Amino acid sequence: MTGTGESPRSVGVRLSALLTKAGLTPLSASQAQAFESYLALLLRWNARLNLTAIRDEDGILSRHFVESIACAHSLPPGIATLLDFGSGAGFPGIPIALCRPEIAVTLAESQGKKAAFLQEAVRVLGLRATVHPGRAEALTVEFDCVTLRAVDRMAEAVRAAAGLVAPGGWLAPITTGVDLAAVQAAAGSGFMWQSPVSLPGGEDRVLALAKRES
């Protein structure tokens, strides 16, 4: 059962309806079940921890889930490894792992309790993902794609994230149209930016995609 007393199945139906409204492909039955389990786990942990400021089901579905799923679908093909920089409650990294199972996702989170939640989510959902319980800046490997969303000190984070992108790989911050120029400047030279991808949910949210030149 979910936090509002509705059946878990209804969560998948509602999420698929939101995706259809946003012009996105509805979830498969297995994906819907996984997102239902993710939501239940998130609500249970959020009752004790401040994982996300949005605490109601509808808000989590429409803002966190739909936006992250849209991000997953918008990432270029050919990505084998991805880092979710400052993953928090797992957005967009966990939805990417659910929607793009060919990608090996690393969820980096320095706050211990949030990292513990991510470890539990990976276990419960059976994800092809690993958790780095520390600062992403401490990683010494490069990734085909590095994404980040709603992190503290965004410009500083983007600079650090840019250094973890492999040559020919992608930097994929989620930001707003207003902040896009600042995010692009923070990444520094060596990136070829594509036109930003508008994300559903309002507030001028965009996925900024940049390919690192080899």
Look at residue 184 and tell me if it is in a domain: yes
| Averaged pLDDT, 24-30 | 93
Look at residue 2 and tell me if it is in a domain: no
Q: State the Cα–Cα distance between residues 145 and 209, nearest whole angstrom.
A: 10
Instruction: Read off the pLDDT band of 1 (50, 70, 90).
Output: very low
Look at residue 118 and tell me if it is in a domain: yes
Instruction: Read off the pLDDT band of 54 (50, 70, 90).
Output: confident
Window from 4-18, 112-126, 199-213 with minimum mean pLDDT: 4-18
pLDDT of 10 reads 82
Look at residue 17 and tell me if it is in a domain: yes
Instruction: Read off the pLDDT band of 7 (50, 70, 90).
Output: very low
Could you give the residue ranges of the DSSP H alpha helices within the chain? 8-21, 29-46, 57-59, 66-74, 93-99, 112-125, 154-162, 180-187
Instruction: Read off the pLDDT band of 19 (50, 70, 90).
Output: very high
Q: Which residue has the higher pLDDT, 143 or 58?
A: 143
Look at residue 157 and tell me if it is in a domain: yes
Q: State the Cα–Cα distance between residues 142 and 129, nearest whole angstrom.
A: 16
> For residue 3, is pLDDT > 60?
no
> For residue 29, is pLDDT > 50?
yes
Q: What are phi and psi of 99, to 5 degrees?
A: -90, -25
Instruction: Read off the pLDDT band of 162 (50, 70, 90).
Output: very high
pLDDT of 209 reads 98
| Averaged pLDDT, 112-136 | 97
> For residue 2, is pLDDT > 80?
no
At position 82, the amino acid (one-letter code) is: L
Look at residue 153 and tell me if it is in a domain: yes
Task: Give the bridge partners for 174, in sequence order.
Answer: 149, 207
Torsion sign over Cα 126, 128, 133, 136: negative
Could you give the residue ranges of the DSSP H alpha helices within 126-209? 154-162, 180-187
Look at residue 164 and tell me if it is in a domain: yes
- Kindly report the average pLDDT of the chain as a whole number: 92
Domain span including residue 197 = 8-212
Look at residue 3 and tell me if it is in a domain: no
Assign residue 146 the CATH number of its domain.
3.40.50.150
Q: What are phi and psi of 201, to 5 degrees?
A: 115, -5
Q: State the Cα–Cα distance between residues 118 and 129, nearest whole angstrom.
A: 10
Quick one: what percent of the chain has pLDDT higher than 70? 95
- Count how many Cα atoms sit within 13 Å of the Cα of residue 6 in the half-sphere of its side chain: 14
pLDDT of 139 reads 96
pLDDT digits (tens, 9 = 90+) for 75-118: 999 999 999 999 999 999 999 999 999 999 999 999 999 999 99
What Å distances lie between residue 181 and 26, 27, 176, 186, CA to CA?
A: 32, 33, 10, 9
pLDDT of 47 reads 87
Number of domains present in the structure of the chain:
1
